[in-house]
């Protein structure tokens, strides 16, 4: 079987040793060869010394899901060595640092061992301790370049771009690359059967993580206030927003900021600031993760009931509680849909990759202002922090923000009296006003019981009148959230239903299953409340496999609660151990259920 | 009925301020607090302060948390946007609102439960950020709405209405604010309008976080002999240190004061705060001495009132963040979106 441009390898290092830049270099070089590539960074919740892995998948067919099968292991962390050896597929290769002898007990007869004295080579070539450690990474990149047939001109060009301003580092990197490359070329039969060949499949693509693209979406949507409390895996989103704002949001003359970033004392304050800013008329957002949403619950109920726009990015991680902060999961689906006490229901968007994270970030602000309510964008650690190959981001310059029903000076001037919660248009959305605009616009926002005039009430009918209207309003949002992606296959009678980042694994699994003669229709939900099309898809299939990443089948539960499709039509396929889902999980899960039924 | 509008009757002889409004124009709906509640006196003082400063009510935003004190923004400035939020979280709302629109005058009303227990962290961090906000803590040492539990400001040894003694040390909002670097710290008494109104006016004009702790006795649960937040106790143990007179920028500074006992402090807008020293050696510009002074009097069971500390000219949140002078809410979208060409260019770094 030809393995050209179709293989996966994994690099094992202790964290804090500088391997990230070498791994990024390898990814980018493959990408620039025009070959579809995906990288998954598996890292610990720790600063230095714990195991970290970087997984790179090369797929000529453009599959981007994680694969648990590795053809080649670069095993440079003694602490995980035994485990790393065990993970190589039979017939695969293992690159190790031959400066020290290998433990014979860990030899596998079905794996080819490639010893490169990385430390030895670097100690001989470089003087300082720091440089020796750092350059070891570039040296293994060099060895890999020879082993899998990377275009060295591209690698060198990348190094030149990166260190253009630092000539000393440029020389060291070049030298280290050559050390590894030359050693491998001399000692092994390069390239291996798992090898690269130039393609033209990445010309219109970029490599980007979802936190960066979502931050960019906030910039393009016109968000001016961002409030946050640092939490893995969402932290890099605000860092990216800050970086873009410094570039694009400074007054050209005064160098003053056309944005405000507030690092709050906790997530409670962060969402409070967002609500305060939204009430004042700014587009405001907060990036966080599950534990942050838990803390925000009280305030989210306030924004829902007082009808204040807010955008919350939940970069989900593995729960419950602190859970595994550096592992991924889709564990917040239920919490976000109904966050806070009392009757609440929230608009949620579920991007599947960084490109959709960009688009849905923009959509979230429009929906939040149009429906005057909190809107969640749920990504996860895999989407948020890993580099994905996606089509280039595009922008329509005719876009203008949907600010919803906000009364201006002229409208207020002509009004005899303004009442905040009167549904004049019959769509459940009442016009709002902003502070400081006009004396006629004043109203009192409150989380306590209020009537349609915005006044405090303890009257049953007045109370019900308002909460029923809000329920209608949120239900109307079902038609405004992104429609599900639905794909039919000829002859399919069963369907696969999924959400968010599981998309990549499902698409690949559907191809694999079709080759086995199992044709399946496909639906990925992209927004909540679910629209009619979601219900219709479920009703049209006697068997729906619901693929998701949490223990309790939260998407399945949500579908059952919200569509009245019987639970026995929805078969759960789950993986929730913390790694991104792979096609293997989906195929195994679907096949097991089909076999059982047969 | 829980909402009582006031009849909008204007007597033609009512005095008007510089923008043609009478005191009635600064009122809100009818108070639903207990008759004699200290908070209603604070509300009246707030009305008076806004009226005297000729502030257009719609240019004000009034925010609060939860509790008796937090109900009061309904009772003043009916033409101002109001936000009665969740317990202890008003500072975050005010911070976000202020970040979005710095052209509005913000007043936050809170209580001792709201500020010193559930919302202690938020208050502290709003002080640290120096959010431009008048923060009025209506302090009665007791939870009124839940009927009489001690709050964190209840003095050790003071008794509840049921006769239980409080065993814990109180949190003193003014000492706390001083230690956090607050740029304006004052304490007053709800029953002392002559002192409270000028302090409120000075706080409104202060560019930054103005913290005012107003002892405001709870007539229902905490105005008895064993309470140190009762009318009688406060009147008896009150030591006034600094009397503040506020002079708007357009007025001449009057000269009927003794230069040896007064000090003028210029505020950001060019107005003057004239501090008349009642205590001879008191210097409100010296944070450390203010702290020591309050402590010293506490040991003698004396409540120090007046303007305790002011640091004029300190950078507020916007100055610290370097935001543009135009409120962020007023920036046109064209100034916020980099456009398609920039998007194309910036993506080179992702290849």
Identify which of B85, B344, B350 has the shortest CB distance to residue A302: B85
Mean pLDDT along residues B110-135:
97
How many separate domains does chain A show?
4
Whether residues A15 and A158 fall in one domain: yes
* pLDDT tens digits, A301-340: 999 999 999 999 999 999 999 999 999 999 999 999 999 9
Range of the domain at A214: 208-391
Q: Please indicate whether, in this complex, the C-beta atoms of A447 and B59 are within 8 angstroms of each other.
A: no
Among A247, A249, A269, A311, which would you mutate to test the B interface (most chain B Cβ atoms within 10 Å of its Cβ)?
Answer: A269
Mean pLDDT of A382-398: 97
Taking only residues 220 to 249 of chain A, the set having a beta carbon closer than 8 angstroms to any beta carbon of chain B reads 220-225, 227, 244, 247-249
pLDDT for the residue numbered B258 = 45
What residue of A is the nearest CA neighbor of B59?
A: A436
On whether both A379 and A437 belong to a single domain, the answer is: no
For residue A193, is it within any domain? no
Contacting residues for B273 by C-beta, under 8 A, at least 6 apart = B202, B205, B244, B245, B246, B247, B264, B265, B266, B267, B307, B310, B312
Contacts of B85 in chain A (CB under 8 A): 272, 275, 302, 445-447
Separation between Cα atoms, residue B50 and residue B41, nearest integer Å: 14
The proportion of chain A whose per-residue pLDDT surpasses 70, expressed as a percent, equals: 100
Interface residue A390 vs chain B (CB under 8 A): no
A346 and A273 within one domain: yes
Residue A64 resides in a domain: yes
Residues on chain B touching A442 (C-beta within 8 angstroms): 57-58, 78-82
Q: Enter the pTM of the model.
A: 0.95
Q: Which of residues 298-327 of A touch B (CB under 8 A)?
A: 298-299, 302, 306
Contacts of A51 (CB under 8 A, 6+ apart): A12, A13, A14, A15, A44, A77, A79, A80
State residue B259's pLDDT score.
38
Judge whether B237 lies within some domain: yes
Measured between CB atoms, does A441 come within 8 Å of chain B? Answer: yes
**Predicted pLDDT at A596:** 84
Taking alpha carbons only, the member of A27, A58, A25 closest to residue A176 is A25
- Residue pair A238/A246 in contact (Cβ under 8 Å)? The answer is no
Q: Kindly list the residues from chain A whose CB atom is less than 8 angstroms away from the CB atom of residue B2.
A: 456-458
For residue A320, is the peptide bond before it cis, meaning its omega torsion is within 30 degrees of 0? Answer: yes
Percent of chain A whose predicted confidence (pLDDT) is above 90? 93
User: Order of strands across the sheet with B272-277?
Assistant: A444-446, B81-84, B60-64, B105-111, B133-139, B209-215, B184-189, B303-310, B238-247, B272-277, B262-266
Residue among B3, B86, B343 whose CB faces A455 most closely: B3
Are A287 and A377 within 8 A, CB to CB?
no
**Is residue B234 over pLDDT 50?**
yes
Minimum distance, in Å, between the CA of residue A180 and any CA atom of chain B? 25
Neighbours of A17 (CB within 10 A): 17
- What is the enclosing helix (H) or strand (E) of A27? helix A19-32
The answer to whether B220 and B71 have CB atoms below 8 angstroms apart is no
The whole-angstrom separation of Cα B27 and Cα B41 is 13
CB contact under 8 A, A443 and B92: no
- A159 and A138 belong to one structural domain: yes
Find the range with the poorest average confidence among A15-24, A268-277, B332-341.
A15-24
Considering the domain architecture, whether residues A242 and A312 belong to the same structural domain is answered as: yes
Q: How many angstroms separate the CA of residue A116 from the nearest CA in chain B?
A: 30
pLDDT tens by residue, A226-273: 999 999 999 999 999 999 999 999 999 999 999 999 999 999 999 999
Pair A413, A496 in one domain: no
CA distances for A274 relative to A38, A337, A340, A361, angstroms = 34, 19, 16, 15
Q: Which residue has the higher pLDDT, B296 or B88?
A: B88
> Per the CB < 8 Å rule, is B56 touching A439?
yes
C-alpha gyration radius of chain A = 27
Q: Are residues A151 and A251 in the same domain?
A: no
Chain centroid to Cα A143, Å, comes to: 31
Residue A460 lies in a domain: yes
Compute the distance between CA of residue A284 and CA of residue A279 in angstroms, rounded to an integer.
10
CATH number of the domain that A365 lies in? 3.40.50.970
Mean pLDDT score of chain B? 87
Q: Is residue B59 part of a domain?
A: yes
To the nearest whole number, what is the mean pLDDT of chain A? 96
Chain A residues within 8 A of B57 when measuring between CB atoms: 439, 442
- Identify the pLDDT of residue B275: 55
Q: Does a structural domain hold residue A479?
A: no
Is residue B344 in a domain? Answer: yes
Dist CA B229 CA A395 (whole Å): 61
Domain membership flag for residue A200: no
Whether residue A445 and residue B94 make contact (CB cut-off 8 A), yes or no, is no
Partner-chain residue, chosen from A249, A259, A272, that has the shortest CB–CB distance to B96: A272
Query: A277 and B97: CB-CB below 8 Å?
Result: yes
Taking a C-beta distance cutoff of 8 angstroms, is the pair B118, B91 a contact? no
Residue A203: inside a domain = no
Is residue A326 located within the same domain as residue A463?
no
- A182-231 pLDDT per residue, tens: 999 999 999 999 999 999 999 999 999 999 999 999 999 999 999 999 99
How close B10 gets to chain A, by Cα (Å)?
A: 18
Band (B253; pLDDT cuts 50, 70, 90): very low
Residue B150's pLDDT is 85
The reported pLDDT for the residue numbered B1 is 39
How many domains does chain B contain in total? Answer: 1
Q: Do A10 and A138 fall into the same domain?
A: yes
Residue B334 sits in a domain of what CATH number?
Answer: 3.40.50.970
In this predicted structure, the answer to whether residue B254 has a pLDDT above a threshold of 60 is: no
For residues A114-132, average pLDDT:
95
pLDDT band at B299 (very low <50, low <70, confident <90, very high): confident
Q: Among B32, B70, B92, pick the best mutation site for testing chain A contact (most A Cβ within 10 A).
A: B92
Closest CA to A514 of A447, A591, A411: A591
Contact of A546 with A573, CB cutoff 8 Å: yes
Q: What is the mean pLDDT of residues A123-152?
A: 95
What pLDDT, on a 0 to 100 scale, did the predictor assign at position B256? 41
Q: What is the mean pLDDT of residues B195-204?
A: 94
What pLDDT score was predicted for residue A367? Answer: 98
* CA–CA distance, B162 with B186 (Å, rounded to integer): 31
Test the B interface: residue of A162, A164, A273, A459 with most B CBs within 10 Å = A273
Q: Search chain B and give the residue with CA nearest A402.
A: B333
Q: Which of B68-72, B146-150, B182-186 has the highest mean pLDDT?
A: B182-186
Both A364 and A249 in a single domain? yes
Strands A347-349 and A527-528: antiparallel
Is A280's Cβ below 8 Å from some Cβ in B?
yes
* pLDDT number for residue A15: 85
Residue whose token pair is 């007045």: A462
Q: Is residue B273 a part of any domain in this protein? A: yes
Instruction: Tell whether A275 is within 8 A of chain B (Cβ).
Output: yes
Query: Of chain A residues 448-467, which have a CB less than 8 A from chain B?
Result: 448, 455-458
- A198 domain residue, yes or no: no
- Arithmetic mean of pLDDT, B135-155: 87
> Quick check: A183 contacting B, CB < 8 Å?
no
Query: Is residue A396 situated within a structural domain?
Result: no
Question: What's the pLDDT score for residue B10?
Answer: 65
Contacts of B83 in chain A (CB under 8 A): 276, 279, 306, 444-446
Residue in A257, A434, A458 closest to B322 by CB: A257
pLDDT of residue A17: 83
Q: Answer whether residue B184 is part of any domain.
A: yes
- Condensed to tens digits (0 to 9), the pLDDT of residues A449-486 reads 999 999 999 999 999 999 999 999 999 999 999 999 99
* B89/A276 touch (CB, cutoff 8 Å), yes or no: no
Q: What pLDDT does B157 receive?
A: 84
Chain B residues closer than 8 Å to A436 by CB: 58-59, 61, 81, 101, 103-104
- Convert the pLDDT of each residue in A431-452 to its tens digit: 999 999 999 999 999 999 999 9
Check residue A105 and give its pLDDT.
79
The burial class, CB within 10 Å (0-12 / 13-18 / 19+), for A473 is: buried
Q: Tell me the residue range of the domain where B77 lies.
A: 23-350
Q: How far is the alpha carbon of A476 from chain B, nearest alpha carbon, in Å?
A: 26
The pLDDT value given to residue B9: 65
CA A2 to mean position of chain CA atoms: 32
Overall average pLDDT of the B301-326 stretch: 93
Claim to verify: residue A94 and residue A14 sit in the same structural domain:
yes
Nearest chain A residue (CA) to B337 = A220
| Long-range Cβ contacts of A116-120 (<8 Å, 24+ apart) | A116/A140, A116/A143, A116/A180, A116/A183, A116/A184, A116/A187, A117/A183, A118/A76, A118/A143, A118/A180
**pLDDT surpassing 70 at residue B219:** yes
Which of B83, B124, B334 is best to mutate for the A interface (most A CBs within 10 A)? B83
Contact of A254 with chain B, judged by CB distance below 8 Å, is answered with yes
Over residues B235-251, the pLDDT tens digits come to 788 777 777 776 655 44
Mean of pLDDT values over A65-69: 94
Is B6 a member of any domain? Answer: no
pLDDT exceeds 80 at position A276: yes
> Is A439 in CB contact (< 8 Å) with chain B?
yes
Contacts of A260 in chain B (CB under 8 A): 99-100, 318, 321, 323, 328
Q: Which of A254, A281, A456 sits opposite B329 (nearest CB)?
A: A281
Give a yes or no: residue B1 inside a domain: no
B318 within domain boundaries: yes
A182 lies in the same domain as A219: no
Q: How many residue pairs bridge chain A and chain B with CB atoms within 8 Å of each other?
A: 228
- The region of weakest confidence among A290-294, A359-363, B13-17 is B13-17
């Amino acid at each position: 079987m030809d393995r050209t441009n179709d293989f996966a390898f994994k690099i094992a290092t202790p964290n804090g040793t500088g391997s990230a830049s070498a791994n990024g270099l390898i990814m980018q070089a493959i990408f620039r060869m025009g070959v579809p590539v995906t990288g998954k960074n598996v890292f610990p919740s720790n600063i230095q010394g714990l195991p970290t892995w970087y997984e790179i998948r090369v797929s000529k067919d453009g599959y981007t899901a994680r694969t648990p099968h590795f053809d080649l292991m670069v095993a440079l962390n003694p602490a995980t060595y035994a485990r790393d050896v065990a993970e190589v597929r039979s017939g695969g290769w293992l690159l190790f640092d031959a400066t020290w002898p290998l433990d014979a007990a860990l030899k596998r007869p079905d794996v080819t061992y490639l010893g490169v004295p990385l430390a030895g080579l670097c100690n001989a070539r470089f003087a300082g301790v720091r440089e020796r450690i750092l350059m070891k990474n570039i040296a293994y990149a060099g060895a890999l370049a020879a082993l899998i047939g990377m275009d060295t001109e591209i690698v060198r060009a990348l190094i030149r771009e990166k260190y253009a301003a630092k000539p000393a580092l440029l020389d060291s990197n070049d030298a280290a690359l050559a050390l590894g490359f030359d050693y491998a070329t001399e000692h092994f039969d390069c390239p291996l059967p798992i090898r690269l060949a130039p393609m033209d499949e990445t010309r219109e693509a970029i490599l980007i993580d979802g936190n960066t693209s979502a931050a960019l979406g906030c910039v393009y949507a016109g968000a001016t206030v961002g409030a946050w409390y640092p939490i893995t895996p969402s932290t890099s989103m605000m860092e990216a927003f800050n970086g873009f704002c410094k570039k694009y949001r400074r007054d050209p003359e005064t160098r003053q900021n056309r944005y405000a970033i507030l690092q709050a004392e906790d997530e409670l304050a962060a969402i409070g600031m967002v609500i305060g800013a939204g009430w004042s008329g700014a587009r405001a957002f907060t990036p966080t993760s599950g534990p942050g949403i838990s803390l925000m619950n009280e305030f989210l109920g306030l924004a829902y009931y007082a009808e204040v726009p807010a955008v919350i990015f939940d970069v989900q991680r593995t729960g419950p509680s602190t859970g595994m902060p550096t592992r991924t999961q889709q564990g917040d689906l239920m919490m976000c849909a109904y966050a806070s006490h009392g009757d609440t229901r929230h608009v949620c968007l579920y991007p599947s990759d960084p490109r959709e994270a960009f688009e849905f970030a923009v959509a979230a602000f429009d929906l939040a202002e149009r429906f005057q309510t909190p809107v969640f964008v749920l990504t996860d650690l895999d989407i948020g922090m890993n580099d994905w190959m996606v089509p280039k981001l595009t922008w329509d310059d005719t876009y203008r923000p949907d600010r919803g029903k906000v009364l201006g000076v002229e409208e207020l001037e002509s009004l005899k009296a303004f009442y905040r919660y009167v549904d004049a248009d019959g769509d459940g959305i009442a016009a709002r006003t902003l502070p400081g605009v006009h004396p006629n616009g004043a109203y009192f926002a409150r989380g306590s019981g209020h009537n349609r005039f915005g006044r405090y009430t303890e009257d049953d009918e007045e109370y019900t009148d308002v909460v029923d209207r809000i329920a209608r309003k949120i239900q109307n949002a079902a038609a405004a959230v992104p429609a599900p992606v639905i794909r039919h296959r000829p002859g399919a009678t069963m369907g696969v239903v999924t959400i968010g980042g599981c998309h990549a694994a499902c698409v690949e699994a559907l191809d694999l299953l079709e080759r086995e003669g199992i044709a399946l229709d496909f639906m990925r939900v992209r927004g909540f409340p679910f629209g009619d099309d979601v219900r219709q898809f479920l009703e049209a299939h006697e068997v729906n496999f619901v693929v998701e990443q949490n223990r309790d089948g939260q998407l399945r539960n949500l579908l059952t609660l919200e569509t009245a499709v019987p639970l026995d039509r929805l078969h759960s396929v789950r993986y929730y151990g913390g790694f991104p889902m792979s096609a293997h999980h989906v195929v195994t899960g679907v096949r097991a259920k089909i076999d059982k039924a047969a | 009925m829980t909402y009582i509008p006031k009849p909008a009757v204007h007597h033609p002889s009512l005095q008007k301020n510089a923008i043609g409004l009478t005191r009635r124009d600064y009122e809100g709906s009818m108070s639903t607090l207990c008759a004699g509640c200290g908070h209603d006196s604070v509300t009246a003082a707030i009305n008076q302060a806004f009226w005297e400063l000729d502030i257009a009510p719609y240019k004000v935003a009034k925010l609060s948390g939860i509790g008796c004190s937090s109900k009061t923004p309904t009772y003043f400035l009916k033409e101002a946007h109001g936000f009665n939020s969740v317990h202890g979280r008003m500072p975050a709302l005010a911070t976000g609102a202020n970040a979005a629109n710095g052209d509005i005058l913000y007043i936050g009303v809170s209580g001792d439960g709201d500020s010193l227990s559930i919302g202690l962290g938020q208050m502290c961090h709003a002080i640290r950020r120096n959010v431009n906000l008048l923060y009025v803590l209506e302090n009665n040492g007791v939870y009124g709405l839940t009927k009489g539990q001690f709050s964190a400001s209840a003095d050790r040894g003071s008794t509840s209405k049921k006769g239980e003694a409080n065993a814990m040390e109180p949190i003193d909002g003014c000492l706390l604010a001083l230690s956090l670097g607050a740029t304006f710290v004052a304490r007053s008494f709800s029953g002392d309008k002559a002192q409270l109104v000028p302090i409120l006016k000075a706080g409104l004009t202060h560019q930054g976080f103005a913290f005012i702790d107003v002892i405001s006795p709870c007539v229902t649960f905490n105005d008895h002999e064993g309470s140190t937040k009762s009318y009688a106790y406060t009147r008896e143990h009150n030591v006034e240190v600094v009397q503040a007179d506020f002079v708007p920028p357009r007025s001449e500074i009057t000269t009927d004061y003794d230069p040896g006992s007064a000090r003028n402090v210029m505020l950001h807008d060019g107005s003057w705060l004239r501090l008349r020293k009642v205590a001879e050696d008191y210097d409100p510009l010296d944070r450390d001495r203010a702290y020591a002074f309050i402590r010293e009097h506490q040991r003698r069971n004396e409540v120090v009132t007046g303007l305790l500390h002011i640091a004029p000219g300190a950078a507020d949140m916007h100055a610290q963040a370097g935001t543009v002078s135009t409120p962020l809410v007023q920036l046109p979208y064209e100034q916020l979106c980099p456009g398609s060409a920039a998007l194309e260019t910036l993506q080179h770094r992702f290849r």
